[in-house]
Each structure stands twice: as structure tokens, then as C-alpha cells.
Amino acid sequence: MPPAQFATARLIDASANRAREGLRTLEDIARFVLDDEGLCRAIKGMRHELSVHIERLPVAPGVLLSARDTPGDVGTGVSTPRETSRTGMLEVASAGAKRTGEALRSLEEAVKALGANAGPLEALRYRLYGVERSVLLALGRRAEQWRLCVLITGSLCEAAPWERVAKLAIEGGADCLQLREKDLPDAELLARARALVAIARESGVHVIINDRPDIALLSAANGVHLGQGDLSPGDARQVLGEGSIVGVSTSCMEQARRAIEDGASYCGLGPMFASTTKPRPGPAGPDYARAYLSDPATRETPHLAISGIGAENAGELAKIGVRGVAVSSAVCAAPAPDEACRAILGALRA
């Protein structure tokens, strides 16, 4: 084989492999993370089409494989720091999609050098952009399964100002903070939301705003939490954007199923126990959490059990499979909010 053809075959083989790997990553995310059969089927179809296009190239059988020279590839040792770490599945999917798109573009150009029709590969690349959008938006809607969300209300912060309580909660292991202020004027609420986002951003902790999609948008918070009488998840995303996190409070399986069907990123489950912070007629109790975690329609959606939860009863919820809790006065009113967070997390682990 002439050296020029060998080099072209080598490029085609490497680019085809990268494209297949990227598509497989996206397919597995659609299958195992998103549980989206239609999206999974579409990506699998793209992988099959790619293989067919490669097989139809005007190259003799076995030439591409013969041109492969992994030990002699000068690029195998070249990498950037971003390639060695991923902050979450959203970043994994984004990297997979970008790798696939770049590989398909390289394939197009190399196929043109062979004098062959690169149109089908170009069409495949354009379809990839739609798949990338679908996967990233779907992942963006999904909340992480937080372990401890602390609801920050200034009037409940007894040992220190609310800013200090928020910082101590993060130091104690909280991975989500929710701003819950019912009576502040809008301007003051927005200022507080922005301050909380700034505090949390340094540690990578998520911030959710209670009830107010507009405040969540203006403060650059990660999302909003809605009650049963608030906007629907779809309406909230008209304000926040399609890929935003939207949680919904639920107290029974009917509400939970409806919230998830409407696009909730996670469900608040409660009330678990009696609470002095927000008195209710009667708690749904741990039995509701048990039902939520055993129902195929709800169990894969992240959750936060809420109401009356502290270190003394968090272990009871952990025993039935609860993976995350939301607390308010148990931390805000504690003499040492960081220690209170550690005690709750310890009870969940135990």
C-alpha cells in the first residue's frame, strides 16, 4: 500500500473507533442512566449505520485493521488535565458527544481524500447534534441523589447568622442547600439567593430556591423546589430553561407519580415525622418512603425525605432505603450546625 493510502487508512480506522466509543458511551447513558428506550434505540442505530458506511468504503477488506498501529501512535501519550476527571454524568455525556462529533468530521475529510461519498457521514454527524441535545437536556433535568439538603431560613438560625450557618452546613457535609424564605421582599430575597449561590459555588454544593423560579433564574441557582399548589415542572422550566432541576413536594404515591410524569427531577417525600417548623395535619410517615422506594414508577427518581428528621431518627429512614434527607431546624437551630450535619450523615451511614 502506498504510504499516503496507508496513512489515510490509519486515520479512518482510528476515527471510526473513536466515533463508535463515543456513541457507545451515549447509548449506555441512555440505557442505564436515563432508562430511555427510544433514545437508546436511536443511538444504537447510529452505531450500526456507522459500521455499514465504513464497510462500504473503497478499501480492500482488512486494510483498515492492517493499518492500525497503536504502539506507534504518537498521540496516545498526549492528554489534557480535563481528560482525566469528570464531575458527573452530564460531563461524561458531553465529552462522549464531542469526541463522536470530532471523529465523524475527521472521517468525512478522510473519506473525501479517498474520492468516496462523505455525505452519509455528514448526515450522521448532524443527527448526532440532535442526540447530544436530547441526552444533555435529559441529564440536566435529573437531580443528583443528594445525601443532605439543609433548608436555610434566617429566622431559624439561632447560633449564627444565616450566612455562617450555610458555610458550617457545607463544612459538615451538606451537598445541597435550599433557600426557604416565605416573607422576604423580592429584592431582599434575590440578594440573599445570590449570596447563598456565591457561598455554595466555592464548594460545588447545589443551591435550590423554594417556590420561586424567577429568583432561581436571576440568582443562577441550580433549580427550584415546588409545592403542590405551585407551578408545574413544565411551567417552571418555561422560566428556568429546559434542562433545569425542578423538585416537587409529595405526600402520597399519587402525587409522586404525577410529579414524575410531569418532569420532576426529584421528589420531596413527607412529612416523615411531626415537625415544629411546618406543622401538618399528620405525617405520611416512613411507610410512604418505603412505598416510593419499592415502586418501579418512582424508585429511580432521586428523593429527599423531609420533616422532623434529625440524627435521632435518620437511621430509621436509612434502614428502609432512604438515600437523602432534607432538614431545617435540626441544623439551622443547632448550637453547632456543622456537627449537626455530621451527626445526621453518620446516622444515615450507620
- CATH number of the domain residue 33 falls in: 1.20.1260
Amino acid 141: pLDDT:
87
Q: What is the pLDDT of residues 315-329, one digit of tens each?
A: 999 999 999 999 999
The answer on 126 and 153 residing in a single domain is: no
134 and 179 co-located in one domain: no
Among 95, 114, 141, identify where a domain stops: 141
Whether residue 84 sits in one domain with residue 174: no
Q: What is the pLDDT of residue 277?
A: 63
Q: Any idea what the CATH number is for the domain that residue 252 is in? A: 3.20.20.70
pLDDT confidence band for 4 (50 / 70 / 90): confident
Q: Are residues 115 and 162 in the same domain?
A: no
173 and 117 co-located in one domain: no
Q: Are 210 and 281 found together in one domain?
A: yes
- If one counts the domains in the chain, the total is 2
Q: Are 348 and 318 in contact (CB under 8 A)?
A: yes
Same domain, 105 and 246: no
Contact 318, 350 (CB under 8 A): yes
User: Is 130 in the same domain as 152?
Assistant: no
Partners of 209 in the β-ladder: 179, 224
141, 156, 177: which is the final residue of a domain?
141
Q: CA dist 141 to 50, 96, 223, 240, 244, Å?
A: 29, 19, 9, 11, 5
Does residue 1 surpass a pLDDT of 70?
Answer: no
| Domain-ending residue, one of 87, 108, 141 | 141
Its domain, for residue 136, covers: 3-141
DSSP string, 88-132: SHHHHHHHHHHHHHHHHHHHHHHHHHTT---HHHHHHHHHHHHHH
Q: Compute the distance between CA of residue 118 and CA of residue 131 in angstroms, rounded to an integer.
A: 20
* Beta bridge mates, 206: 176
53-67, 203-217, 311-325: least confidently modelled range: 53-67
At a CB cut-off of 8 Å and minimum separation 6, what does 272 contact?
283, 284, 285, 286, 288, 289, 305, 306, 307, 308, 309, 313, 317
Asked if 50 and 184 sit in the same domain, the reply is no
As a residue count, the chain comes to 350
Q: Do both 284 and 192 map to the same domain? A: yes
Residue type, 116: A
> Is the distance from CB of 303 to CB of 266 less than 8 angstroms?
yes
**Which residue type is seen at 295?**
D
- The torsion of the CA quartet 197, 202, 204, 209, rounded to 10 degrees, works out to -10
Which is more confidently placed, 61 or 323?
323
pLDDT in tens, 268-309: 999 999 876 665 556 789 999 999 999 999 998 999 999 999
This prediction's pTM: 0.74
Question: Can you give the pLDDT at residue 69?
Answer: 82
Are both 93 and 166 inside the same structural domain? Answer: no
Query: Tens digits of per-residue pLDDT, 131-186?
Result: 999 999 888 888 889 999 999 999 999 989 999 999 999 999 999 999 999 999 99
What pLDDT score was predicted for residue 2? 67
- Asked whether residue 340 carries a pLDDT value surpassing 80, the answer given is yes
Domain co-membership, 102 together with 203: no
